[in-house]
Chains A and B, each alone.
Chain A
């Protein structure tokens, strides 16, 4: 372990020295370290003076910590450029091959590059924070709470790791610096959203939320680093010269996984579906646990944000309710397709979100209805009504099919989204993704879609009647 780190640091030292020989890197780092904090000090001093005139010191009280965060963030933005260049830049200059033929392990090489891209901008960031703090202390006597200072330092560090680990993944998987720069949008845009969110928190002054952001970023950092290591492939790095779209190959790879060994639909259901479901055991367990946690969260929310009891009178559901739905032509094929397509649309949206979030956002989207059901059921209990009756009448009839469909859809998307973090087994990231897409689509098309259809039929034709029968009495 120590030897591994020592070898990684050999790479880091060389790269850091090399960066300091390049004025194009040194100049922005110095500017962002010295000039920018000075500018922020000036801004803070002006802002304090300005708001004091209008007796609104709270604005200054919020602005100064916010600027502290910004002063920390700006220098680490340089790390993105360095990290994007780390592997693919060396590949373009042909200097990567001597490193690849050396006895350095993949882990040492990867870690060395990661640290090299991170250390100078992060050092500049800490220095910038120090300059800013010294400035505001001298000028207006402001000192941050120690906890806030720790939060900002940790947040800056995990953000730097996030950008660098993401950019190093991009750099190791592309064949040109240009392609890496284009793909960097997938890092820059989420980071921009994150900073905006953090800005809101800083002005809201609810600093404890920063810990949750830090925790989430640590998890994402771990996933990025795992992805980078899993798909770091010496062969790909040297063998692949051009990023070309190969629709034919992509379609064949997907089709091969989707159809598998089956010769007929019956074969497919007999051989392929059970095998695919078996391989999704772990994500299925994760989904079930997530639903359980979501359901618990629903009950907690019910205590914090109770619904007015008059909204929870279920005995209002009577024959008039059925007639109302009938007037809307709910009891028809159109009603079924509307419910069915709505559920499928949610699966599509969850898939899209899951691909870009290692599956995490998909899980959140899919468990949301169950959190709401739990929230309403808990409110029923708080209002003295029977939550069991509510569940039996309005959820269980179609839920028997819909809840398993949600669990399996979530498992399929989670499995797809988490593909980059799984061991590569010699496959490229694209190949592994297509295979996972084939497997997940198999489960969605073969099981989830029919289950949702069955659930929609029940939800349209049976659930309202069962609800009226049980609740109107």
Chain B
């Protein structure tokens, strides 16, 4: 649904986006992460045929972003970084205006507008001028505008910024629903927990280049190393150092717990458990030590050498 090959954009002497390769199927969600000015918005603008790539190519919903810009724009719904709403216009009229621009028939327009206003809890505010809306309401209205024409591709820039927790949950649930409707979604966000929750794939962009890309789990494995596991025991160790089989490395231990690294957890964890039980240690639980996407992100972004960072996939 979204395919890019060496997609690049240069503004005079500044390389804003450098050889970005993305491949997203229908129903996949990609979170595009990166510091401000990394090239996220420029990438999105190329995918909406507003900016012309300097090099490479991109196809969105099967259309070439350079050769078929009108079809591309008709196939995407975009939540822009700045919402760009018309303050003097009532919310309902605003959506109706965009419905006309997207060439929706009056009946479809009306039902889509009602459905979206209902979904985002704005139905009671439909006649109010947008200038009277709170930040969160504006964000929801802008998102409704992006969804109005039922696009197969959604490009969402900070979809839950400025929202209260309840509204943010509502929007996240809406995105999950959209994914289940087989829509392809790119989310640009600084909210890493949200990215981890919503995205099938994560792409981290720095200085215009994608420096890491893959599922959250794969990125963790590649950038943070082998997973760490923690064993909790029913009785204190009292200074006893459990012996681990080869392939597992003890990393730390406490009064009633030990942590270790293992390369192949599926094969090794049963062996380790068996050995420890044979040593007479009463194991209560075994679990992977949780690692956050934030660690992955910081590791990637702060790495001094881009060559050290692995592409996944």
Q: Which residue numbers of A lie inside 8 Å of B, CB to CB?
A: 7, 10-11, 14, 17-18, 21-22, 90, 93-105, 234-235, 238-239, 249, 426
Contact = CB atoms under 8 A, between A and B. Distances in A.
Interface string B44-68: 0100101110000000000000000
Q: Which 7 A-B pairs have the closest CB atoms?
A: A94-B82, A95-B84, A103-B74, A21-B88, A94-B84, A103-B73, A101-B78
A235 B80 CA distance: 15
Interface string B118-150: 000000000000000000000000100100000
A18 B97 CA distance: 12
B84 A238 contact: no
Given A18-B89, A103-B70, A103-B74, A98 B100 contact: no
Interface in B273-296: none
A234 B83 contact: no
B100 A10 contact: yes
Contacts of B298: none
Contacts of A95: 84-86
Contact of B48 (A18, A101, A239): A101
Interface residues of B, number: 29
Interface of A is mostly: helix
Given A103-B103, A235-B50, A426-B52, A97 B80 contact: yes
B76 interface: yes
Nearest to A102: B101
Contact of B80 (A17, A101, A426): A101
21 contacts: A14-B86, A14-B89, A90-B84, A94-B83, A95-B84, A97-B78, A97-B84, A98-B80, A98-B145, A101-B50, A101-B73, A101-B76, A102-B73, A102-B102, A103-B74, A235-B50, A235-B51, A235-B52, A239-B11, A239-B51, A426-B52
A20 to B, nearest CB: 10
Nearest to A112: B101
Given A101-B73, A102-B98, A93 B52 contact: no
A18 B51 contact: no
Contacts of B52: 235, 426
Pick from B11, B80, B89, B145 the residue with the most CB of A within 10 Å. Answer: B80
A96 B84 CA distance: 7
Contacts of B73: 101-103
Nearest to A93: B84
Contacts of B83: 94
Contacts of B101: 7, 10-11, 99, 102-104
A238 B88 contact: no
B63 to A, nearest CB: 11
Nearest to A14: B97
Contacts of B142: 98
A10 B106 CA distance: 13
Contacts of A7: 100-101, 103
A103 B83 CA distance: 18
A275 B301 CA distance: 51
Nearest to A91: B84
Interface string B216-231: 0000000000000000
B187 to A, nearest CB: 16
Contacts of B89: 14, 17-18
A93 B85 CA distance: 9
A251 to B, nearest CB: 15
B78 A238 contact: no
A95 B89 CA distance: 12
Nearest to A249: B12
A330 B50 CA distance: 63
A10 B96 CA distance: 10
Contacts of A104: 101
Contacts of B48: 101
Pick from B48, B50, B51, B89 the residue with the most CB of A within 10 Å. Answer: B50
Given A7-B101, A234-B50, A426-B52, A22 B88 contact: yes
Nearest to A98: B84
Given A10-B101, A94-B80, A97-B78, 9 more contacts: A10-B100, A18-B86, A22-B88, A94-B82, A97-B82, A101-B48, A101-B73, A102-B101, A238-B51
Pick from A99, A100, A101 the residue with the most CB of B within 10 Å. Answer: A101
B97 to A, nearest CB: 5
B82 A238 contact: no
A14 B45 CA distance: 25
A414 B218 CA distance: 63
Nearest to B72: A103
A238 B100 CA distance: 23
Nearest to A94: B82
A385 to B, nearest CB: 64
Contacts of A234: 50
Contacts of B76: 101
A200 B51 CA distance: 50
B54 to A, nearest CB: 11
Contacts of B100: 7, 10
A105 B70 contact: yes
Contacts of A14: 86, 89, 97
Nearest to B99: A10
Interface in B173-225: none
Contacts of A10: 97, 100-101
A22 to B, nearest CB: 7
B88 A18 contact: yes
Contacts of B98: 98, 102
A101 B51 CA distance: 10
A258 B140 CA distance: 54
A105 B73 CA distance: 10
Nearest to B44: A101
A235 B50 CA distance: 6
Nearest to A10: B100
A100 B50 contact: yes
Contacts of B102: 102-103
A103 B75 CA distance: 9
Nearest to A90: B84
Nearest to A233: B52
Given A14-B97, A95-B86, A103-B74, A238 B103 contact: no
A10 B86 CA distance: 15
Contacts of A426: 52
Contacts of A101: 48, 50, 73, 76, 78, 80
